[in-house]
């Protein structure tokens, strides 16, 4: 998860150079940061769902063995 901090650092440097950098580079870096954040959220959601499904499966198996 180091990309957002690296990306922020790069955007700060580009902001300091204002006129010397193309605006398309700034747009690209901002969109890269947004997509990276969305990807990180999706990974977290997938792992939470996998954990929930595993716990549900274990609970069903435990109930099967008790009956």
Number of domains in the chain: 1
13 inside domain: yes
**Residue range 8-67, pLDDT digits in tens:** 788 788 888 888 888 888 888 888 888 888 888 888 888 888 888 888 888 888 877 776
pLDDT of residue 60: 85
As a residue count, the chain comes to: 67
Question: Within a domain: residue 52?
Answer: yes
In the chain, % helix, strand, coil (3-state, to 5) comes to 90, 0, 10
pLDDT of residue 4: 62
pLDDT for position 22: 87
- Domain membership of residue 58 as a residue range: 6-66
Instruction: Tell me if 1 is assigned to some domain.
Output: no
């Amino acid at each position: 998860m180091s990309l957002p901090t690296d990306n922020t650092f790069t955007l700060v440097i580009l902001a300091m150079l204002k006129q010397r950098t193309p605006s398309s580079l700034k747009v690209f870096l901002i969109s890269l940061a947004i997509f990276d954040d969305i990807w990180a959220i999706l990974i977290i959601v997938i792992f939470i769902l996998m954990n929930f499904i595993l716990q549900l499966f274990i609970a069903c198996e435990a109930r099967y063995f008790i009956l």
